[in-house]
């Protein structure tokens, strides 16, 4: 019996087998508060995204600023393996023909093979913001795209405010898409520009659009103002969208855009849609972190999939179960996306946390008093310590419980004096007395402040027996007041990040006395560095 060509409801609800990725970090991402990229930065990110396997990279708006003009000049010289560069701009102005429009000319002058233009689809914007007639707006969309297509460009049409426009006047919003399709647009992108649409609305509207334009590629562009950018994008793909726009780490105006760093594994691992070569998925976490570094943004600690905390486990019951089967508290194997599992040590830890930490740190040999270590950690956390980010301090606590561990030095005394002198101003002097082997080293040093003086003095005291200590670098020093309501008697927590070449380690100290807290963290950082090198 001959099958009908009409798709059943079940078949039509199946997600597409192929979805193309469009990364707008270099333009949309720079609209995020605090994000600014130089031309060099943008070229570095372009290379990373191309190597990852992104289909389209939106480079910027060449008609808006000199920086983007320079980017398009330089990116032409790059040999890209996977990505097509897109230039972004608007339709022609209301009183200008596309042939003479400066914005359209700038887009063509960029020589980008792909041009993305946005047009109004919401009657509110057409009449109140653009201030043209509804028909004139449709002409601007169609004529602009038709002209760009005559120049042999791939054209992506961003239907700005589409979901709001559709809900206000679905007939006109669809007419705007029809105008773009008549002009020859290769992709019709439905934009939730204000970020106020919910997933069930996105799905039903995208299905309606797909039924009216069955032969056109439909795209989705979402903002996260309602916290639904991810859900909205996945709903659109479920409804037939085959072109997904977003930014790395979700950077974007206001609350940001759909985060491609999480969208990619959701599409590939959860929905079975191959958007990257399978071997490239492991580069997702390094790329996300590299983009954050280039953009001078904090690492995406709590981001799904690629964040440092994405597979970090703190509760003792969780860790105990994971030691039997990692899938008990992890939805995927983190190595698939280039991440790793981490066990955190805190007052919530159990023995399983410490056993996992011993394995992670490759500490061999029996530790009989593991319960004592656990109780000590909990007592110290009660006193203001925090071991989650101070893994070197945790390792030292474990090492000190081993009978064969010999600390490289023992602190006997220290003194710190802060002085002000008329001609010199403020400075500090520290004296430290430490036992190194069987010898007592007693030295003094001056510094800009008390911690600096302690650091210099301890380095002088230890460098004869441990010359590598001269290469240690105090990379970061953080102070946190625990119970500020107690005023000057509050507990002070000090975190120190120490660096040797490309290795970092972190230690913690806590005390009502900031100098004592600093000394604890500093001496632990030195001890761990010597142990690591030894």
- pLDDT beyond 50 at 514: yes
Q: Is residue 495 part of a domain?
A: yes
Q: What is the C-alpha separation between 25 and 385, in angstroms, rounded? A: 39
Chain centroid to Cα 273, Å, comes to: 23
Shared domain for 287 and 360, answered yes or no, is no
Average pLDDT score over the chain: 88
Q: What is the pLDDT, as a whole number, of residue 300? A: 86
Q: Is 242 in contact with 215 (CB distance < 8 Å)?
A: no
Name the residue among 127, 132, 116, 202 with its Cα closest to residue 164. Answer: 202
- pLDDT beyond 90 at 177: yes
Q: What is the pLDDT, as a whole number, of residue 273? A: 95
Q: Is residue 3 part of a domain?
A: no
Q: What is the pLDDT, as a whole number, of residue 425? A: 81
Shared domain for 345 and 438, answered yes or no, is no
The pLDDT of 404-429, averaged and rounded, is: 86
In the chain, what percentage of residues exceed pLDDT 90?
61
Q: What is the pLDDT, as a whole number, of residue 348? A: 57
- pLDDT beyond 80 at 365: no
What letter does residue 91 receive in the DSSP assignment? Answer: P
Q: What is the C-alpha separation between 432 and 458, in angstroms, rounded? A: 7
Counted residue by residue, the chain has a size of 534
Shared domain for 78 and 193, answered yes or no, is yes
Which domain covers residue 527, as residue numbers? 410-533
Q: What is the C-alpha separation between 120 and 103, in angstroms, rounded? A: 16
Shared domain for 423 and 390, answered yes or no, is no
DSSP alpha helices (H): ranges in 53-133? 66-75, 102-109, 123-124
Boundary residue ending a domain (294, 329, 346): 294
pLDDT digits over 113-143, tens only? 999 999 999 999 999 988 999 999 999 999 9
Shared domain for 365 and 229, answered yes or no, is no
DSSP alpha helices (H): ranges in 13-87? 39-52, 66-75
For residue 503, the domain's CATH number is 3.30.160.270
The confidence band for 105, taking pLDDT boundaries of 50, 70 and 90, is very high
| CA distance from start to end of the chain | 78
Q: What is the C-alpha separation between 377 and 387, in angstroms, rounded? A: 8
Boundary residue ending a domain (226, 261, 294): 294
Q: What is the C-alpha separation between 110 and 62, in angstroms, rounded? A: 7
**Beta bridge mates, 156:** 116, 187
Q: What is the pLDDT, as a whole number, of residue 3? A: 44
Shared domain for 342 and 484, answered yes or no, is no
CB hemisphere CA count around 312 (13 angstroms)? 16
Q: Is residue 4 part of a domain?
A: no
For residue 115, the domain's CATH number is 3.20.20.70
Q: Is residue 76 part of a domain?
A: yes
The three-state secondary structure class of 285 is helix
Q: What is the pLDDT, as a whole number, of residue 90? A: 95
Q: Is 119 in contact with 180 (CB distance < 8 Å)?
A: yes
Q: Is 305 in contact with 340 (CB distance < 8 Å)?
A: no
The pLDDT of 394-399, averaged and rounded, is: 82
378-393 burial by CB neighbour count: b if 16+ within 10 A, else e? eebbeebbbbbebbbb
The pLDDT of 18-42, averaged and rounded, is: 96
Q: Is residue 96 part of a domain?
A: yes
pLDDT digits over 40-97, tens only? 999 999 999 999 999 999 999 997 889 999 999 999 999 999 999 999 999 999 889 9
The confidence band for 422, taking pLDDT boundaries of 50, 70 and 90, is confident
Boundary residue ending a domain (262, 294, 326): 294
Q: What is the pLDDT, as a whole number, of residue 304? A: 95
- pLDDT beyond 70 at 442: yes
CB hemisphere CA count around 297 (13 angstroms)? 23
Shared domain for 159 and 257, answered yes or no, is yes
- pLDDT beyond 80 at 14: no
Q: What is the pTM of this model?
A: 0.75
Q: Is residue 208 part of a domain?
A: yes
Shared domain for 177 and 250, answered yes or no, is yes
DSSP conformation letters of 177-216: HHHHHHHT-SEEEEEETTS---HHHHHHHHHHHHHHSTTS
**Beta bridge mates, 410:** 435
Residues 6+ apart with CB under 8 A from 321: 328, 329
- pLDDT beyond 60 at 9: no
The pLDDT of 504-530, averaged and rounded, is: 91
Q: Is 177 in contact with 159 (CB distance < 8 Å)?
A: yes
237-241, 261-265, 296-300, 400-404: which has the minimum mean pLDDT?
Answer: 400-404
DSSP conformation letters of 286-328: HHHHHHHHHTT----TT-TTTSTTTTEE--HHHHHHHHH-GGG
Shared domain for 290 and 332, answered yes or no, is no
Q: What is the pLDDT, as a whole number, of residue 340? A: 82
- pLDDT beyond 70 at 10: no
Q: Is 492 in contact with 503 (CB distance < 8 Å)?
A: no
pLDDT digits over 306-356, tens only? 998 888 777 666 666 767 777 787 899 999 999 887 666 555 556 566 666
Q: Is residue 404 part of a domain?
A: no
Q: What is the C-alpha separation between 321 and 335, in angstroms, rounded? A: 19
Shared domain for 351 and 444, answered yes or no, is no
The confidence band for 4, taking pLDDT boundaries of 50, 70 and 90, is very low
Largest CA distance in the chain: 103
Shared domain for 373 and 483, answered yes or no, is no
Q: Is residue 303 part of a domain?
A: no
Q: What is the pLDDT, as a whole number, of residue 2? A: 42
Pairing of β 56-60 and β 84-90: parallel
The three-state secondary structure class of 473 is strand
**Beta bridge mates, 221:** 191
- pLDDT beyond 90 at 419: no
The confidence band for 190, taking pLDDT boundaries of 50, 70 and 90, is very high
Measured at the CA of 89, the angle between CA 241 and CA 173, to 5 degrees, comes to 50
Shared domain for 316 and 275, answered yes or no, is no
Number of domains in the chain: 3
Taking residue 322's Cβ as centre, other Cβ atoms within 10 Å add up to: 19
């Amino acid at each position: 019996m001959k099958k009908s060509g009409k798709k059943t409801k079940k078949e039509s609800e199946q997600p597409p087998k192929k979805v193309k990725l469009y990364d707008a970090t270099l333009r949309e991402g720079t609209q995020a508060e605090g994000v600014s990229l130089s031309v060099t930065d943008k070229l570095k990110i372009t290379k990373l995204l191309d190597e990852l396997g992104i289909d389209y990279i939106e480079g910027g708006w060449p008609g808006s600023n000199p920086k983007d003009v320079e980017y398009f000049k330089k990116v032409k010289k790059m040999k890209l393996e996977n990505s097509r560069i897109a230039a972004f701009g608007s339709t022609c102005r209301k009183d200008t023909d596309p042939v003479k429009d400066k914005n359209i000319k700038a887009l063509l002058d960029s020589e980008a093979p792909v041009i993305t233009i946005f047009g109004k689809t919401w009657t509110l914007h057409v009449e109140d913001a653009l201030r043209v007639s509804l028909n004139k707006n449709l002409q601007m969309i169609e004529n602009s795209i038709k002209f760009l297509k005559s120049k042999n460009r791939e054209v992506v049409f961003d239907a700005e405010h589409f979901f709001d426009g559709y809900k206000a006047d679905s007939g006109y919003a669809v007419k705007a898409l029809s105008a773009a399709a008549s002009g020859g647009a290769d992709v019709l992108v439905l934009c939730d520009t204000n970020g106020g649409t919910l997933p069930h609305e996105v799905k039903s509207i995208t299905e309606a659009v797909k039924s009216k334009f069955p032969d056109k590629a439909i795209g989705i562009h979402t903002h996260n103002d309602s916290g639904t950018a991810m859900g909205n994008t996945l709903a659109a793909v479920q409804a037939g969208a085959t072109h997904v726009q977003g930014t790395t780490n979700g950077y974007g105006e206001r609350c940001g855009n759909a985060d491609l760093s999480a969208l990619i594994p959701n599409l590939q691992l959860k929905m079975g849609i191959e958007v990257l070569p399978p071997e490239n998925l492991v580069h997702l976490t390094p790329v996300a972190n590299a983009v954050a570094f280039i953009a001078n943004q904090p690492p995406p600690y709590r981001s799904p999939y690629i964040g440092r905390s994405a597979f970090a486990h703190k509760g003792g019951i969780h860790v105990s179960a994971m030691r039997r089967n990692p899938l008990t508290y992890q939805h995927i194997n983190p190595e698939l996306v280039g991440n790793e599992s981490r066990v955190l040590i805190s007052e919530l830890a159990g023995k399983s946390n410490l056993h996992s930490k011993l394995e992670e740190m490759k500490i061999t040999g029996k530790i009989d008093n593991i319960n004592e270590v656990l109780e000590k950690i909990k007592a110290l956390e009660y006193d203001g310590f925090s071991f989650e980010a101070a893994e070197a301090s945790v390792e030292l606590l474990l090492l000190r419980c081993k009978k064969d561990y010999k600390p490289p030095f023992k602190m006997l005394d220290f003194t710190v004096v802060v002085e002000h002198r008329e001609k010199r101003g403020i400075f500090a002097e520290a004296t430290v007395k430490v036992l190194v082997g069987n010898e007592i080293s007693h030295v003094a040093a001056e510094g800009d402040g008390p911690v600096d003086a302690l650091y210099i003095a301890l380095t002088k005291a230890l460098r004869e027996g441990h010359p590598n200590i001269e290469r240690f670098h105090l990379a970061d020093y953080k102070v946190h007041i625990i119970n500020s309501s107690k005023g000057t008697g509050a507990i002070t927590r000090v975190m120190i990040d120490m660096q040797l070449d490309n290795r970092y380690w972190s230690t913690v100290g806590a005390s009502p006395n900031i100098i004592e807290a600093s000394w604890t963290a500093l001496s632990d950082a030195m001890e761990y560095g010597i142990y690591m090198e030894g």
